[in-house]
């Protein structure tokens, strides 16, 4: 566990000066040095009543019609970080320039609550954004963008549309929590295999799942419930997925994303897997989504068709924006 926290701290240190709560002030206008246009910032919007159940919302100014929203789900091994991680992700404002509102959501860390609380909270945040959509000029279309542990949460929310045991009763309960697209950045899906393959993450996995005696003490049922592939059943609504993973990731093995890609393909989903050459676990935060783009292999499968393999397009914000636009119209 200490090794894991040290790794996360080192990654944050690489980002330079961190954004503080005072830097992202309360609702009002905010000019960005990276975004081409200005946007309005709404901080600490409560999607439910808990202290950590808040989100920040960024809405481009001057939109001529209501906008889709992309919800960022932060990483941190389920036990660290918060919604400000978005602001430390180089280039994220490009999504605003492409006509998306962007939200970044807090969820209760595993030091306080265990799975499936975090899944239920993100589903609650999705319902909240749909409920308050008219107030913030949102059109009800919701995509998720998860990083690392946040990808496990985002992917599970994406595959579990209508699953009552994961829905919960937190916050707003009227609108749907089903999402329209998911981007998964270096996320795990098989947490038992992750704990075995990555000793630095084993303690984080067991803390998240509520198995203090180690991964061997986790029931097969809990491991199955926390696996996004469990819910890939015929007839369930399945959004398109964009998966990205570095082939030099020493925290979450590339095999986790390869497994997820295969499962989504077998479920006849729409999925692309970008494998980025030489990139480690923190590639997105540290600027690999900006030029010069790393070399990559792109595997794509739609419906029940064959997998197509290519080296284009590069994985930048233009590609990410095109993916979300195709599903959030």
Give the pairing of strands 28-30 and 308-310: unpaired
Position 243 scores a pLDDT of 99
Position 296 scores a pLDDT of 98
| CB count in 10 Å sphere of residue 212 | 11
Position 34 scores a pLDDT of 58
**Distance of alpha carbon 4 from its chain centroid, rounded?**
20
Regions of the chain where pLDDT drops below 70: 1-36
* Model confidence pLDDT, tens digit, residues 68-90: 999 999 999 999 999 999 999 99
Position 36 scores a pLDDT of 64
Position 212 scores a pLDDT of 86
Residue 253 CB contacts under 8 Å (≥ 6 apart), including other chains: 194, 197, 198
Position 261 scores a pLDDT of 98
* Model confidence pLDDT, tens digit, residues 134-188: 999 999 999 999 999 999 999 999 999 999 999 999 999 999 999 999 999 999 9
Give the whole-angstrom CA distance, residue 172 versus residue 49.
10
């Amino acid at each position: 566990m200490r090794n894991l926290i040290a790794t996360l701290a080192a990654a944050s240190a690489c980002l330079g000066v961190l954004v503080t709560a005072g830097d992202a002030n309360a609702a009002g206008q905010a000019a960005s040095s990276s975004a081409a246009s200005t946007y309005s910032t709404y901080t600490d919007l409560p999607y439910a009543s808990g202290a950590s159940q808040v989100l920040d919302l960024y809405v481009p100014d001057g939109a001529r019609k209501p906008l889709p929203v992309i919800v960022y789900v932060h990483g941190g091994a389920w036990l660290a970080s918060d919604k400000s991680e978005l602001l430390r992700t180089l280039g994220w404002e490009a999504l605003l320039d492409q006509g998306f509102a962007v939200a970044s959501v807090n969820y209760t860390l595993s030091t306080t609550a265990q799975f499936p609380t975090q899944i239920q909270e993100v589903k609650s945040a999705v319902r909240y954004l749909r409920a308050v959509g008219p107030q913030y000029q949102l059109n009800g279309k919701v995509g998720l963008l998860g990083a690392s542990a946040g990808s496990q949460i985002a992917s599970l929310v994406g595959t579990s549309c209508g699953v009552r045991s994961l829905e919960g009763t937190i916050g707003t309960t009227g609108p749907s929590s089903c999402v329209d697209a998911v981007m998964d950045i270096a996320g795990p899906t098989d947490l038992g295999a992750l704990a075995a393959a990555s000793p630095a993450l084993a303690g984080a996995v067991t803390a998240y799942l509520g198995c203090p005696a180690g991964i061997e003490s986790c029931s097969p049922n809990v491991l199955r419930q926390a696996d996004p592939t469990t819910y890939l059943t015929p007839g369930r609504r399945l959004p398109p997925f964009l998966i990205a993973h570095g082939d030099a990731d020493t925290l979450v093995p590339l095999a986790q994303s390869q497994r997820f890609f295969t499962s989504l393909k077998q479920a006849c989903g729409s999925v692309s897997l970008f494998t980025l050459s030489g990139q480690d676990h923190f590639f997105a935060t540290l600027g690999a989504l900006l030029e010069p783009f790393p070399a990559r292999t792109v595997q794509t499968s739609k419906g029940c068709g064959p997998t197509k393999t290519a080296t284009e397009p590069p994985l930048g914000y233009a590609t990410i924006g095109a993916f979300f636009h195709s599903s959030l119209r």
